[in-house]
Every structure is written in structure tokens, then in C-alpha cells.
Amino acid sequence: MAVHDFFLHLLVILVTARVFAELATRLGSPSVIGELLAGVVLGPSLLGWLEPVQAIRLLAEIGIILLLFEVGLETDLVRLARTGVKSALLASGGFVFPFLLGYGVAVYLFDLPMLVSLFIGGTLTATSIGITVRVLADLGRQREREGQIVLGAAVLDDVLGVVLLALLYEFSTGGGINFGNAGKVTLFIAAFFVLAPIAAKLMSLIIQHFDKASEIPGMIPTMIVALVLFFAWLAHALGAPELLGGFAAGLALSRRFFLPLGAAMHGNADFAHRVEQQMKPIVHLFTPIFFVMVGLSMNLRAIAWSSPFIWAFSGTLLAAAVAGKMAGALLVREPGPVRAALGLAMVPRGEVGLIFAELGRSTGILDATVYAGMVIVIALTTLAPPFALKWFYRRYGSRIAVYSLQQEGGIGR
């Protein structure tokens, strides 16, 4: 690929992604939907201008591990510990029910193979932290009790989702499902999840040390990106997906991450702030490329729209996706309207769901039609909840507020 062609490709992707993202938010839906659409428009589905060539695909891969790095970076372990039990219940319910429903629908209704069905179930598990945060913030509920519970649950089911992804990845690259091995892999991943952030934290302390002494600018962007790439590479070498490494590195560098030993934490706040400030532009540059690539990889023309399969498939799975999260909310002991609000807020899938679908596609497990169906389901789960929640809070908002006050013994937040 010639340099100027590459530049043109990249700039068209960046500009189109931004324009569609802006339009999407003006219309009340999340920006990620706009970026997806940009890919659909530029790709074989509509204009056919761009193909997912390798150089751009590699940039998209950087984008996705950097996105998971940012998710890790914004994970607040302290807050997670505080909302505690309710978040954990909501997360487990919101993880298990959609997974079982999605898997069951795929296997029993549509007769799909087991591994395909596992991917479909997995795609429905992870709530999108980013979109949920945005929706709750728009409603002004982000700092309320139910907002805190939902945020904690979204973080937890992202973690569960990534672990499941690693398991499925092992199955798909290992050639099949081996439940005897699954326990070992889970243990392995759990060990990575505990050890990698600690290792990343220690490395970041080394970077911090040299950053103070260095006269050459650019220590943070180069070394933190290298750190993220290293853990992505390590995760892959250990048989987990690359993005697990990105998440672990982000967790290690988050402001509220604490080492078990509590060692050498002084003076850290400033460094964490600088890491955030300098890494954000890089993350923001690369991530849209990933979502455009997801859109580019979908060929909507190759799908048999006249066959009832795609309609029945995405319709049923959408129902499973919504019902699963609502069922998860039943595990939490709260009055009805609060439960409904919690369930609705958990509906948006997003980044992690798309990553699931993309991994399924690139390993050849999901065919073009199933892949397109999954992306459509993910898109719809993020499109509807903002409107549904707004309507719900207009109607039941006052009752939820009263419950919240009673719960807190009449003391305002």
C-alpha cells in the first residue's frame, strides 16, 4: 500500500467516523453507533470505497487494546468495593441470564453449533460501561444510588465478559470445547488478572522514576503504549486475547488501584493524572478506527434479507438480550421501579459485545449472517435504552427518588 493511499484511507476513516458520531449523538444515540455506521457506509455494504486492509486493521487492533486500557484506567476499585454486594448480584444475574438465554436461543431455536452458540451467548453478556455512564449522566442519575449500583455492575460484568472471552478464545483456537480444560484456563486467566496488574504497576513505577529523571519529552506516551503492547502480547502468548492485557495494564495505572503491599504510592496522583492526560488523545485517536473497522467488516449486501432467518434471529436475540438483563435485576432486593430502572440501564451492550462478535468473525466461527445479526442486536440494545430510560424516569422518577431517600434514612446524598 502506497504511503499517500494509506494517509487518504486513514483520514477518510477519521473524518467520517467523527461526522457520523456527531450526528448520532445529536439524534440521541451513542457515538459508537455513528462510528459503526461510518464503516457500514464506507465499506462493501454501501459505497465500497474502503476495504479492511492490513495496515488499517493493525491500527484498529491497537485501538481496541487501548480502549480496554482506558476502560481499565477508569475502573474505580475503591468504588467497586463500596457498592459491593448489590452490584455483584446485578452483574452476575446480568451476565448469566443473557448468556444462557442467548445460548439457548441459538442452540434450540436456530440449531446452531455449540461453539457458535457460546459466542452468541457471550456477545450478550457485557454491559457497555461507556454508554451506560453517558445515559445515566444525561438523566442526572450517575451519582444516585441506583447509578452507583449499575456502574459497579457494568464494570464487573465487563470483567466477567473478558474472562469468558478468553475462555471462548481458548476453545476456538484450541479447536473445540474442552470442559475439562476450562477450569484450568479460568484459573490461569484469574492468575493473569491478579498478577498482570501488579506487574504492570511495578513497571509503571519504574517508568515514573525514569520520567522524573529524563530530559527528553515523550516518556509517558512511548513507554505506556509499550507497556500496554507488552501486556497485550503477553496475554496472547499465554493463550488469552490481547485485549485482556490492555485491560490489566489500565487497571494497574488507574488512580484508585492499590497494591496489596501498599508500597511506594506517594506522589502517584500527579503521575496518574499525567498518564491520563497524555494517553487520552492517543486512545481517542485510535479507538474510532476499531469501530469503523467493525462496520467495514460487515457486508450487509451479502446477507439474505429476504430469508426469514436474519429477522427471526436478530429479533429473538434482541428479546433475549433485554429479558436477560431485566431478569438479572430481579436478583437485587429493591422495590419494583428501581429494579426496572437497574435492568434497563444494564441493557446497552457495546464495545465488549462488538469485540466478542469481531473475534468470532475473525476466527471464522461466526459466518457473515450471524455476525451481522449480532452487530444489529448490539446496535439496537444501545439505541433503545436512552429513550426508554428517559421515558421511565419521567414517569417513575419521583417514586424512585422517594425509595432512595427512605433507603438512606431520609438523609440526602
Q: Is 309 exposed, middle or buried (0-12, 13-18, 19+ CB in 10 A)?
A: middle
Q: Are 203 and 259 in contact (CB under 8 A)?
A: no
Is 279 near a second copy (CB under 8 A)? yes
In whole angstroms, give the CA distance from residue 345 to residue 388.
9
Options 221, 239, 315, 397; binder of a second copy; rule CB under 8 A: 221
Q: What per-residue string of b and e applies to 242-279 under the rule 16 or more CB within 10 Å gives b?
A: bbbbbbbbbbbbbbebeeeeeeeeeebeebbeebbeeb
Sign of CA dihedral 378, 30, 254, 284: positive
Q: Give the range of 112-120, 167-175, 220-228, 325-333 binding a second copy by CB under 8 A.
A: 220-228
Minimum Å gap between C-beta 273 and a second copy is 13
Is 174 near a second copy (CB under 8 A)? no
Q: Residue holding cell 486467566?
A: 189
Q: Which is nearer to a second copy, 77 or 285 (CB)?
A: 285
Sign of CA dihedral 276, 278, 283, 285: positive
In whole angstroms, give the CA distance from residue 392 to residue 341.
7
Q: Give the range of 15-23, 109-117, 303-311, 397-405 binding a second copy by CB under 8 A.
A: 15-23
| Helices 242-253 and 145-174: angle between axes, nearest 10 degrees | 150
In whole angstroms, give the CA distance from residue 62 to residue 287.
8
Options 47, 58, 187, 319; binder of a second copy; rule CB under 8 A: 58
Q: Give the range of 210-218, 247-255, 260-268, 395-403 binding a second copy by CB under 8 A.
A: 210-218
Q: Which is nearer to a second copy, 62 or 332 (CB)?
A: 62
Minimum Å gap between C-beta 129 and a second copy is 15
Is 280 near a second copy (CB under 8 A)? yes
Is 215 near a second copy (CB under 8 A)? yes
Minimum Å gap between C-beta 163 and a second copy is 20
Site for a second copy in 77-106 (CB under 8 A): none
Binding site for a second copy (CB under 8 A): 1, 3-4, 6-8, 10-11, 14-15, 17-18, 21-22, 25, 31, 54-55, 58, 61-62, 65, 210, 214-223, 225-226, 229-230, 232-233, 236-237, 242, 277-285, 287-288
